[in-house]
Structure 1
Amino acid sequence: MRWNRTVSALLSMMVIVAVSGCAPESAGPQSLAERVVRGVPETWTGPPLDPLDGSPEVGWLSDAEFGVVTRGSSSCPPVAISLERTEEGDVRIEFADSPHDTCTADDGPTTHVLRLPDGVDERPVAVTLTFASGGTYSLSLP
């Protein structure tokens, strides 16, 4: 009988630990990217990425998709929360900070795969990136 209580208590503790370890992180902004890829896809046609420069870059991934490559913690990349066409027919993208609490200390590239908004037909496309953590970048998507 005593053994059953001990096993039962042990199993209960294991369930509590397992459930608490799998609890979702704090709710935060959801990415509007089609997908977010660690690293840079093979189809990247943007400028070569300088591993020593932490600036973001934009480039085409296919006829329909373009990518924004950001650098920083690969487990906590920024989140694309706004993608809009400006009156001039350009694009403005706003990035929020990652909602994750525990981040790796690496400095890896992350590609945010996006589609141009309707009405953006002229090339090159001026792309303005704004980051909540600071920084605004004006780039060109040929």
Structure 2
Amino acid sequence: MRTSDRGGRRRATRVAAAGLAIAGLFVLAGCAPRSPGGGPFGDGSQAERVVRGMPEGWTGPDPDLLDGEPVVGWVSDTEFGVVTMGSSSCPAVARELEVLGAREVQIEFGQSPNDPCTADMAATTHVFELPPTVDGRPVTVIVKLDGFEPEFALELE
């Protein structure tokens, strides 16, 4: 009886340890920084994709992390990007892209729903497909950041 009792305790200990390991993975997954962008995280981004740092093909200016102002540039012949600065775990979210004319778009950015956020400063690029009705050059991209004044009128050449 002692042998079977000891085996039962070992099995229960292994099951409990496995359960704790699985629970730990769920906790870590819940606390891990989320990837920016739409899709599975449901942050509401209207960007085609969101890239930490600068995407491949970027032809715009390098952002200045100290002044924190957004910059725009081309990513491909039909895609442009808006680089915002902020917490790497809570980047701004592109809420709405509006075509204002054949050479002008406006993009409103809101705050990330992620919480808590890291206290760092990182560049995040929000990549958009150029709407077909925007066919002139240069293109003015008006960037509005929720809670910040003024808005930024940036040129895509």
TM category, shorter? 0.7 to 0.9
Within 5 Å, give how 1:48-63 maps onto structure 2: 48-63=62-77
1:20 equivalent to 2:35? Answer: no
Cα separation, partners in 2 of 1:16 and 1:41, compared to 1, 3 Å: closer
Q: In structure 1, what residue type is equivalent to 2:24?
A: V
Which of 72, 79, 88 pairs up with 2:93?
A: 79
- Mapped to 1, the partners of 2:118 and 2:27 lie a distance apart of 21
- Mapped to 2, the partners of 1:19 and 1:41 lie a distance apart of 31
Q: In structure 2, what residue type is equivalent to 1:92?
A: Q
Deviations 1:20-50 (A, max 9, x none): 332487x653222222111123532223433
| Aligned twin of 2:155 | 140
Sequence identity percentage = 49
Does the CA-based 8 Å contact 1:84-1:117 persist in structure 2? no
- Mapped to 2, the partners of 1:34 and 1:90 lie a distance apart of 18
- Mapped to 2, the partners of 1:5 and 1:48 lie a distance apart of 57
- Mapped to 1, the partners of 2:89 and 2:95 lie a distance apart of 18
SS of the residue 1:123 aligns to: coil
Alpha-carbon shift at residue 72 of structure 1 (Å): 1.4
Cα separation, partners in 2 of 1:79 and 1:94, compared to 1, 3 Å: same
TM-score between the two structures when normalised by the length of structure 1? 0.83
- Mapped to 1, the partners of 2:66 and 2:29 lie a distance apart of 35
Alpha-carbon shift at residue 82 of structure 1 (Å): 1.0
The structure showing larger relative contact order (alpha-carbon pairs under 8 Å, at least 6 residues apart) is: 1
Does the CA-based 8 Å contact 2:63-2:69 persist in structure 1? no
Alpha-carbon shift at residue 80 of structure 1 (Å): 1.0
Unmatched segments (≥5 aa) in structure 1: none
TM-score between the two structures when normalised by the length of structure 2? 0.76
Cα separation, partners in 2 of 1:5 and 1:47, compared to 1, 3 Å: closer
Larger radius of gyration: 2
- Mapped to 2, the partners of 1:15 and 1:63 lie a distance apart of 46
